[in-house]
Amino acid sequence: MKELDLEYKIIGKDKTVLVIETGIGSSFYDWYSIVEDLKEDFTIVLYHRCGYGKSQAPKTPRTPKNIAEELNYLLDKIGIKDKFILMGHSFGGLCVQHYAKMYPYKLKGIMLIDSTSFNFKQLYMIDTPVMNSLIAIDKMVESNINSSKKSKEELNQHNRNIISAYENRISDLDMKSVEEFFTSSTLHKTIAEEFQNWDIDSNEIKSIPEFPNIPLIVIARDNKVAERGWVKYTIPEKEAILYENEWRKLQIELSKLSDEGILVIAENSDHEIYLDRPDIVIQYLKTLL
C-alpha cells in the first residue's frame, strides 16, 4: 500500500492495545471521556479514517475492506506487533467485522457497540414505510452530498448543535479541531461514499466465510429507549417497535459470529452506548484483559 497520512493519537501505556473504529460521521473526540477511564489498563489507539479530520482524502472506494486495509497499514506503521482488542461502534463495527475476517491472527478480542450488521438490509424489508422514507440510504447519501457543497460558514451553522455539545468536555485547542472536523466538505463527501457502498460492504463481508473464534462482546442498545427516540422523531410507535425488534435480532446474530461471543444489553442507553453507558463498555472491555 502507498504511503497514507492518517491522523491518530495513542493514549495510555499498558501492555494491552485497544484500537477504536468510530461510527459514521463521528470523530475520535467523542471517545475522550471513556478513554480517560481506560488509559490505566490499555494503550488506546484512536484514529480518523481517510476523509475524516486531518487524515488525507480517500483515494479508494469507502468500503470496510479498504478501510480495514488502511487501518492495518496504520497499525503496522506505528509498530503494533502484539495481538490487540478491536472495538467498533455502528458503521465502525461493520469495518471491524471485515478486519476480523481479513486479519484474524492479529486480534485478541473484539467488541461491537450497537454495530451495523452485515445483514442490515433486513431492516428495510419490514413494514416500516415512514421509517424507511426518513432513513433510506439514498436519503443519507443525498443529504451528505448536499452538505459537501456548503461553505465552512454554512456547515458551522448547520452543525452548530453537534459542535456545541463538545464545549466543556474538551480543551479549547481540541474544540478548534472539532470545528474543523464538522465544517469539512471532504467529511460529508466521505460519509456519502460510506453510505453509498453499504450494499457492496454486506456482500464483501459475507464472501469471507470464516470469523475468528475469539472473545467477541456485542453490546446492544435498550429497545425501549430507542423506540421512544424514534417516536420523538415522528415515527409511528408500531414501526419503531418493529424496527427495534429487527435491530435486536441482528445484534443477536452478530453475537453468534464467534463461539466465544456474548450479547450484552445496555439498559437505559440509545445508540451511542459509549456516551450513555460508558460503565458497561469499560466493565466488559476489562474482561478481555
State the residue range of the domain holding 47. Answer: 8-121+200-286
Pairing of strands 107-113, 84-89: parallel
Residue-level pLDDT at 14: 84
Is the pLDDT at 2 greater than 80? The verdict is no
Residue-level pLDDT at 76: 97
Instruction: Report the C-alpha gap between 220 and 273 in whole angstroms.
Output: 8
Q: Is position 171 within any domain?
A: no
Q: Is position 239 within any domain?
A: yes
DSSP character at residue 29: G
Mean residue pLDDT of the chain comes to 96
Is the pLDDT at 10 greater than 90? The verdict is yes
Q: Is position 138 within any domain?
A: no
Q: What percent of the chain has pLDDT over 70?
A: 100
Is the pLDDT at 13 greater than 90? The verdict is no
Question: Mean of the pLDDT values across residues 16-38?
Answer: 97
pLDDT digits 0-9 by tens, 55-106: 999 999 999 999 999 999 999 999 999 999 999 999 999 999 999 999 999 9
pLDDT digits 0-9 by tens, 183-196: 999 999 999 999 99
Question: Is the four-CA dihedral 68, 78, 273, 211 of positive or negative sign?
Answer: positive
Question: Whats the size of the chain, residue-wise?
Answer: 289
Q: Is position 167 within any domain?
A: no
User: What CATH number did the domain enclosing 230 receive?
Assistant: 3.40.50.1820
Q: Is position 37 within any domain?
A: yes
pLDDT digits 0-9 by tens, 121-146: 999 999 999 999 888 999 999 999 99
3-class DSSP assignment, residue 181: helix
Name the domain count of the chain. Answer: 1
Q: Is position 164 within any domain?
A: no
Q: Is position 271 within any domain?
A: yes
Q: Is position 152 within any domain?
A: no
Residues 68/98, Cβ–Cβ less than 8 Å: yes
